[in-house]
Structure formats: structure tokens, C-alpha cells
Chains A and B, each alone.
Chain A
Amino acid sequence: MSTGTVRFLIGAAIFLALAYGLTRLVSNEYVFFALYVVLQFIVLATAWNILGGYAGYVNFGSGAFFAVGAYTGVALYKALATPILLQVVAGAFVSGLLGLAVGALSLRLRGIFFSIATVAVAIVLETVVVNTPYLGGAKGLPILRPEPPALFHSYLEWTFFLMAMLAVLAVFCARYVETSWIGRGLRAIRDNEGAAECSGVPTLKLKLFAATLSGALMGAAGAPFALYLSFIEPTSVFNLNYAVSALAMPIIGGMSHWIGPVIGAVLLGTVQQLVTVTISSELNVLVVGVLLVLFVVGAPDGILGLVRKLRRPKAASAAGAAA
């Protein structure tokens, strides 16, 4: 293991310890309710970035992957009362399969056509769920939470900690992809797919891998959703807000490095929570849209790009002084 990886793992362990400590110290349930959402966005943004940021395939259907994870969890829970960890694994698996199918579409579709196809997948799946009475249809389905595990006071604290673990896992996967040959291949696909193919990059395999991993992580993020809210309905899980946020957060944070989506998710997720509480939930959605457009136009490389720009003049002048 490189020193970077060791440092990353130590940081992740400290983060999880802090998250667990929080469940011991804080008794206000709302804190976990809000932090869960921010963590969930870290997973979604990181997962989106694996396909969108590294490989350049824009997914507008993140809500579909999230929802497939959530409804897989609900179906399992309703049928067999499975433990939540198993639901996460199953949600990730089914959503990963969907990712594989969407990745196969990229065989023929690039650019806007791929993006429109992901919107299509989302709407078709939403229609299927609305027409499936077992999953609650359009009315939705109330879910009774089980008893929390012995280490936690309430079930909400447990789902919060679970989401913290998923966030660490997602960032770990993204970091691994980014620093390995897979990331180099994906970046080659983004910059020029034809040239990459000619240079011997296994483009199809890499695209399928990225789409599957991205889908699986989004599904894992969705799986605990029903137990977190103790209710599930199609319009809330297929919400366009997930699709926009999952795309806006990496773009705002910066897509070139794994920390970008995390920065974007923490920043935007927190702002959203604050605006929802203090002003209105419609306005928080507006904030995401406006920030997305502002960043795409004004700072195409996101916050990371801005930071680099601030540093570069110094580095350049230092180099000039040395010469």
C-alpha cells in the first residue's frame, strides 16, 4: 500500500469514529436526519463522477438507480424482513445490473443521446413502479422500522452510521479507480474515445465497469431510504432533484479529483438543508440549479479549479524567480 492509501484509510477510520461518537453524544434526532441526507449526496455525487467526470458520459437518470436500490430494499424487506445490510447489498447488485445495461447503451450512444437514454430509463422505471401494487404504486408504502442494533439508541442513528460507511466505501472506490490504470483509461475515453480505442484502451470493458460501479453505488445509497423515512413513494425517490444534485455536486466541486464531488456534496447538501429549514424546499432546489449554471459558465473546473488557479500564479512566479 502506498502512503497515500494508508493516510486515506486512517482518515476514513477517524471519520467513522467521529460519526459513531456523534451518535453517542448528540440526542437531537434532527441532526442525524439532516446529516444522513448530506452523506447520501456524497455517495450519489461520487458515484455519478465515476461515469460522468472520469469517462465523460453524462447520466441524467441518477434518480432511477437510487430508486431501484430503494425499491429492491423495500421488496426484500416486505417479503422476507431481511436485515438492512442485506438490502444494501441486494440494492447495489440490482442497480449495478441496471448500470451494466445502461453501460451497454453507451456502445452506440454518445453525448446527448446517452443522456436522453438515461432520462428515458428513469421515466420507464417510474411508470413500472407506479403500476406495481406490490410496491405501493403511486400512493406509496409505509414501512415499519425494526428495532435498532444494540450499539445504537435509535434506528435513525443506525441508518446514519450505515450511510457514513457507504460514503467512505464510495469515496474509496472512486479514489481507487482514479489512481489506477482504470482511471487513466476512462480519462482517455473522455478526451477522445476513438483515439483511446486505437491506442489499445479496452473502451467497452472500461465503460461497462464504470457504469456498473456507478450504478451499484447509487443503488446502495438508495437501499436504506425506505427505512430511513419509514415511507416510500415513487415521486420522492424518482425525484429530479436527485438527478440534478448528483450532477451538480461534482461539477461544482470539481470533476478531476475524487475530493471534488465530496466538497460539492458537503457544500451543496448543507446549503440545501439550511435553505429548506429557514426558507422553503422549493427555493433549495432553485439554489442547486442556479449554482449549477453559474459554475458551468463561470468556473468550468469547479471549486478545485478555482483553488488551482489561485495557487498557480504563485507557483509560476516562484518558478520565474528560480530561473
Chain B
Amino acid sequence: MDIELLYEAILAGILLGCFYAAVSLGLSIAFGLLDVPHIAHPAFLVLGAFATYVLVGHGLDPILGGVLLMPLFFVLGLGVYQFYYVTFERRGTDQGLRGLAFFFGIAFIVEVLLILRFGVDQRMVEAPYIGQSLELGDTRVPWRMIVAFGVALVLMLGLTIFLSRTFIGRAIKAVAQDEGALRLMGADPVRIKRLAFGLAVAITALTGALLIVVGPVDPGLGRIYIGRTFCVVVLGGLGSVPGTIVAGLILGVVESIVLSTAGAAWAPAVAFGILLLVLAVRPAGLFGR
């Protein structure tokens, strides 16, 4: 393979990888930190993308639309966690299998509702930075990737600071480490987990907006992102933000190289292939707790 081409693939892969890390953040909190089997995460991501699509139809910028959706998705997250807690975690009866089936069912319902409302066609949005490219010498970098890259960086930086500097953020980390100890300190772990799950879903709204900025979206896209997001979260070591970034970059670069050598038809298998490999060889991931 041409060195020039490889260089371009790696550059595109880094931008793509940061985007993959960002779309996985919600799952990293919900599954990595809270141990909730949140298979519906990619479905919420696509839901966020379609909600953004509707807002853009009313003349909003997609990124701004994603930010405006965050409070709404935060409430959705609070509701979903409360429901999950009352029906599964509190009862404690065989929650493994049924909790999984519950989120799988939710994901399926979201997908079908989106199909019923929007059809199976791909949708995209218009914005000044979509369709234009930045020229760096011989290589062209699309602006939409640069915007997604920037928003992803801000989001990840903000989340890292939030988790390590604020009281609530530290409480979320504490609940992941030792729920019983948190209870002994007089804090309510369920309240913290509810807030954290709400935060995870709120972030998913903004990253859903990134999803539709980066490329066209159809209701079935969530299935491919099951692989990408779980690949990033598992490879990154469940709930570590730096791990998520590194894992996202690895996935982005590998996928981008496969894309430019083997062709686009093989791209969906890359994330799942890496995921299977990681699960078989090192399930704790690179930065395992």
C-alpha cells in the first residue's frame, strides 16, 4: 500500500476514532461504571440523530440541536433507570437474563418506531460545514469530521473534569467502585446511579447529533453501532475515559485502513472482529479496572 494513502487513512482514522470514542461515552458510563446491560445505547444514539434531524428541519444547527436535546434525554435516562431499578435491580430475581432481554426489547421498539415514522431511507442534515473540505496540501479533510472531532474532544475533556473534580462526578466513580461503602457514608447509591444514567443518555443525545453530522443515518444503523460502541468500551476497559479514547482511536484507524484497502463492504465486520478478539483474549480490556 502507498505510503501517501496510508498517511491519509491514518489521519482519517484519528478523526473517526475520536468520534467513535465520543459515541461510546454514554455506554462507558452506563455499562462500564454502573454495570447496567444497556444494549439499547446504540438505539438511543440513532434516536438522538433523528431528533436532531427533526430540529434541523426547523432551522437549527445540528450541534446546537443536540445540545438542546440533552435535558430531554437526561429526563428519559432518569426514567429508564428508575424503571430498570424498580423492576429488576430491586427484585434481584435473575436480573441478568431479563435485564438484557428488557434492553434488547427497548432497542428493537425504538428501531421499529423510527422505521414507522421515518421509513427505512437514509436521512441527512444540512449545515455550513457539511459538504465542504479543508485542504491540507494534497489531502482533503472534510469539515464535518473536524467539527465532530472538536465536539468530541470538548465532550471528553468536560466529562473527565466532571468525573474527577465535582462532587457528583466523584460520587459516580465511588458508586462504581463500592456501592456498599457509599451507602455506609450516608449517600444513596440509587440516586447517584440514576443521575449517572441520566447523564449517560444526555451525552448520547449530543453524540447522536454528531452521528448525523458525520454521515447519513437510517433506523437500522444502531445494529452496526452495537459492535462499535461495545468494542470501544470493552477494549478501553469498562468505564475509563482515557481508555475509551485510546480504544476509539484504535478502532478508527483500523477501520479506516480496512476501508481504503479491502473496501467498504468489509467495514462493518472490523469492530465486531476486534470485539470478538478482545473478548476471547483479554476481556478486561486495555485499561481494565
User: Using Cβ atoms and an 8 Å threshold, which residues of chain A touch B265?
Assistant: 127, 130-131, 138
User: How many interface residues does A have (CB within 8 Å)?
Assistant: 41
Name the contact of B269 in the complex, choosing from A52, A111, A113, A127 (C-beta under 8 A). Answer: A127
From A91-99, A178-186, A290-298, give the one contacting chain B: A290-298
Bound-state Cα–Cα, A248 to B266, Å: 30
User: Using Cβ atoms and an 8 Å threshold, which residues of chain B touch A259?
Assistant: none
Q: Tally inter-chain residue pairs, CB-CB below 8 A.
A: 116
> What secondary structure prevails in chain B residues at the interface with A?
helix
Name the contact of B109 in the complex, choosing from A112, A124, A286, A300 (C-beta under 8 A). Answer: A286
Contacting residues of chain B (71-104) with chain A, CB-CB under 8 angstroms: 83, 87, 93-94, 96-98, 100-102, 104
Chain B's closest residue to A52 (CB) is B97
User: Using Cβ atoms and an 8 Å threshold, which residues of chain B touch A174?
Assistant: none
Chain A's closest residue to B101 (CB) is A296
User: Using Cβ atoms and an 8 Å threshold, which residues of chain B touch A282?
Assistant: 112, 115-116
**A-B contacts, 6 listed (Cβ < 8 Å):** A56-B94, A119-B226, A123-B223, A124-B269, A127-B266, A292-B101
From B2-10, B48-56, B176-184, B274-282, give the one contacting chain A: B274-282
B169 within 8 A of A: no
User: How many interface residues does B have (CB within 8 Å)?
Assistant: 39
Contact with A along B92-130 (1 / 0, CB 8 A): 011011101110111011001101100000000000000
> In angstroms, how far is the closest chain A Cβ from the Cβ of B234?
8
Q: Is the CB of B100 within 8 A of A286?
A: no
> In angstroms, how far is the closest chain A Cβ from the Cβ of B114?
10
Given A113-B279, A123-B223, A123-B272, verify A283-B116 contact (CB < 8 Å): yes
Q: Is the CB of A123 within 8 A of B268?
A: yes
Chain A's closest residue to B230 (CB) is A116
Q: Is the CB of A112 within 8 A of B37?
A: yes
> In angstroms, how far is the closest chain B Cβ from the Cβ of A188?
14
User: Using Cβ atoms and an 8 Å threshold, which residues of chain B touch A117?
Assistant: 275-276, 279
Q: Is the CB of A296 within 8 A of B105?
A: yes
User: Using Cβ atoms and an 8 Å threshold, which residues of chain B touch A112?
Assistant: 31, 37, 39, 96, 100
Contacting residues of chain A (267-323) with chain B, CB-CB under 8 angstroms: 282-283, 285-286, 288-290, 292-293, 296-297, 300
